[in-house]
Every structure is written in structure tokens, then in C-alpha cells.
């Protein structure tokens, strides 16, 4: 389940193995994987041909490959199960291979987009003057971006009438955080996932932001998190951060801080993992009559 650290690992792989190469041909093997390209699969393939791939970039969970000689970029999102793999041209096709990009050189490798659940995809978009694909202009900067504005984030958090985990997953407020790292950061900050954002003091929100950054940087240092074969880097290798998770997936296991069995609660069609002792639920708010 790729979140920011996993996407950054993939971006680095693309920068190393794909940037600077000229696209010879693109094959779309599943139309859903280019559904965000309004002009369709044929147009997507035709517009890539002959262009040089620029330096891979990322914002939150989106990554893009600028086409160096145009004002457009190939935008990618891995969704739930997407993989961007650099494979030998003669390697057998993966079962869920959706898009193949061949290059006009003699390196003998090609770029493959493999996606079991087809939540992810590739598309081609014009760039904004800042070099960002226009369709992701609404995505906030991520907390590892040097230009991320801590004070603005804290202010926005205070003004929201929502709960803290919803806010962490709101990509227009802060990008790159998914269910796993949200639970990890909240556990470290000793915050319950349903804590109203308006009740967070500046020091508390600053501490939460610090934990978000810490957990992402630690995951990045070991190549990301992987529970199964659904997340891998461009070489098909998995990360190791799942061995360091303190909250996510640890239902009934003892809290690493206080020993209380961790709990899992259904939340927004997914799960929230928390320690019922360290992360006390918020007091019920008074209703005005």
C-alpha cells in the first residue's frame, strides 16, 4: 500500500533508471489504467513516442515524469497495488501488466506499470508554470517538502471542523499520509483518531507533525513498508518498515509503550489501530439546545 515513503523510493528508482531516456513506444494493455487521460489510450501512447524523459518528481503520493522537450508530464499514481518496474525486455510479462513503455536505446530494459486492483494509473497532462501537472494543483505539499508551511498547516487544522485522522488523510491539507502512517503518527503522538482538530493546541499539532515526519523518514531509510508483494521498488524489491510498525496491523498485540492490547476499529471503510490507554477517545462534545 504505497504512501509517501514508498512513492519516493519508486521516484528515486525512476530517476536512476528511466530519466534521460527517449521513449520509443508505449503500449496500453488495460484501458482503466489510463482512465485519467481524457483523450484515451491511443492518444496517450502516441503523445509519448519520441520524447525524452526528464527528472522524476513527486508530490505526496503522485509522481510524474516531465517530457523534457515539452510542457507536459506523464503523471502516475500507484493507487492500492500499482508498481512501476524497470524490467529486462525479455522478462516474462507480469500477470497484471497494464502499460509498457519501451525506450530507444540499447540498455535492454523497459518500464512496466503493473497493477492488480487498477486503482492507480498513468496519464499525460500539461504542466502549470511551476512545473506541476495541472490536475494535481489541488494536492498540498507533503511534510518532507522543504517548502511545506508548518504554520499554515497548523492554522488550517484549527479551522477545520473534522477529526484528526480525517485531516491527516486529506491530501488538500497535507499530502502523502495514508492509513498506515496516520495510525503510526497518531500512536506516537498519543492522539485518538477521532480527536477534533479544533481542540489541538499549537504545541500538540507541532508534535503531531514532527511524528508524521519522523515515521516517514524512518520508513524511507529502510525502503518503505511492505506487507506483501503489492508494494515493491522499481527493481521488484520490498521495504522493511513493516517490521517497525507500532500500531498498524497490531490488533490484540501489546502496546509497545504500556502493554495494553492494541485495538482495531472499523473507520471509513477501513481500519484504525490504536492503544485504548495511550490514545484516549475525546470527551463527547456538548450539544447546544
Pick 21 or 165: Cβ nearer DNA:
165
Question: Which of 252, 266, 285, 288 touches DNA by CB under 7 A?
Answer: 266
The total of other beta-carbon atoms located within 10 Å of residue 259's CB is: 9
3-state DSSP assignment of residue 261 = strand
Candidates 14-22, 64-72, 155-163, 236-244; binding stretch for DNA (CB under 7 A)? 155-163
CA distances, 133 to each of 42, 117, 125, 128, 138 (Å): 20, 24, 6, 6, 10
Give the x-and-dash track for 27-46 against DNA (CB under 7 A): -----x---x----------
Question: Which of 154, 163, 205, 233 touches DNA by CB under 7 A?
Answer: 163
Asked whether residue 265 is marked as a ligand-binding residue, the answer is no
CA distance 94 to 83: 11
Of 266, 163, 241, which Cα lies nearest the Cα of 208?
163
Any contact of residue 194 with DNA (CB under 7 A)? Answer: no
Report residue 252 as a C-alpha cell: 490484540
Asked whether residue 117 is marked as a ligand-binding residue, the answer is yes
CA distance 125 to 104: 22
Pick 92 or 159: Cβ nearer DNA:
159
* Beta partners for residue 196, in sequence order: 163
3-state DSSP assignment of residue 227 = coil
Any contact of residue 95 with DNA (CB under 7 A)? Answer: yes
Candidates 11-19, 65-73, 173-181, 279-287; binding stretch for DNA (CB under 7 A)? 173-181
- Rounded least distance, CB 192 to DNA, Å: 15
Pick 68 or 268: Cβ nearer DNA:
268
Question: Which of 271, 276, 277, 282 touches DNA by CB under 7 A?
Answer: 271
Residue 125 DSSP symbol: E
Candidates 105-113, 178-186, 254-262, 274-282; binding stretch for DNA (CB under 7 A)? 178-186
Number of residues that bind DNA (CB under 7 A): 36
Pick 73 or 171: Cβ nearer DNA:
171
The answer to whether the CB of 7 falls within 8 A of the CB of 225 is no
Catalogue the active-site residues: 2-3, 61, 270
Asked whether residue 96 is marked as a ligand-binding residue, the answer is yes
3-state DSSP assignment of residue 98 = strand
CA distance 168 to 145: 16
Region of 14 (left: φ > 0; alpha: ψ -120 to 50; beta: rest) is alpha
Binding residues for DNA: 96, 117, 160
Q: Which residues would be at the binding site for DNA (CB under 7 A)?
A: 1, 3, 32, 36, 60-62, 77, 79-80, 95-96, 116-119, 135-136, 159-163, 166, 169, 171, 178-180, 248, 264, 266, 268-271
Amino acid at each position: 500500500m504505497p504512501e509517501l515513503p514508498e512513492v519516493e523510493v519508486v521516484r528515486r528508482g525512476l530517476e536512476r533508471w528511466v530519466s534521460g531516456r527517449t521513449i520509443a513506444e508505449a503500449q496500453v494493455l488495460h484501458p482503466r489504467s489510463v482512465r485519467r487521460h481524457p483523450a484515451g489510450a491511443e492518444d496517450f501512447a502516441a503523445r509519448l513516442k519520441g520524447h525524452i524523459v526528464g527528472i522524476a518528481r513527486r508530490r505526496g503520493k503522485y509522481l510524474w515524469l516531465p517530457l523534457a522537450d515539452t510542457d507536459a508530464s506523464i503523471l502516475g499514481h500507484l493507487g492500492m497495488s500499482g508498481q512501476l518496474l524497470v524490467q529486462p525486455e525479455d522478462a516474462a510479462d507480469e500477470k497484471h501488466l497494464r502499460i509498457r513503455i519501451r525506450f530507444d536505446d540499447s540498455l535492454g530494459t523497459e518500464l512496466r506499470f503493473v497493477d492488480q486492483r487498477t486503482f492507480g494509473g498513468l496519464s499525460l497532462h500539461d504542466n502549470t508554470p511551476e512545473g506541476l501537472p495541472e490536475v494535481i494543483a489541488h494536492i498540498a505539499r507533503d511534510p518532507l517538502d522543504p517548502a511545506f508551511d508548518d504554520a499554515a498547516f497548523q492554522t488550517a487544522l484549527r479551522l477545520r471542523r473534522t477529526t484528526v485522522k480525517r485531516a491527516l488523510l486529506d491530501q488538500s491539507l497535507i499530502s502523502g499520509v495514508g492509513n498506515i502512517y496516520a495510525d503510526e503518527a497518531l500512536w506516537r503522538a498519543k492522539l485518538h483518531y477521532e480527536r477534533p482538530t479544533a481542540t489541538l493546541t499549537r504545541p500538540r499539532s507541532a508534535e503531531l507533525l514532527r511524528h508524521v515526519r519522523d515515521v516517514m523518514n524512518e520508513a524511507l531509510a529502510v525502503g518503505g513498508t511492505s506487507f506483501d508483494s503489492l508494494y515493491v521498488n522499481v527493481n521488484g524489491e520490498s521495504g522493511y518498515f513493516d517490521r517497525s510498525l507500532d500500531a498498524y496491523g497490531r490488533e490484540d498485540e501489546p502496546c509497545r509503550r504500556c502493554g495494553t492490547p492494541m485495538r482495531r476499529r472499523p473507520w471509513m471503510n477501513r481500519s484504525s489501530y490504536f492503544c485504548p490507554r495511550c490514545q484516549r477517545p475525546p470527551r463527547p462534545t456538548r450539544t447546544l439546545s
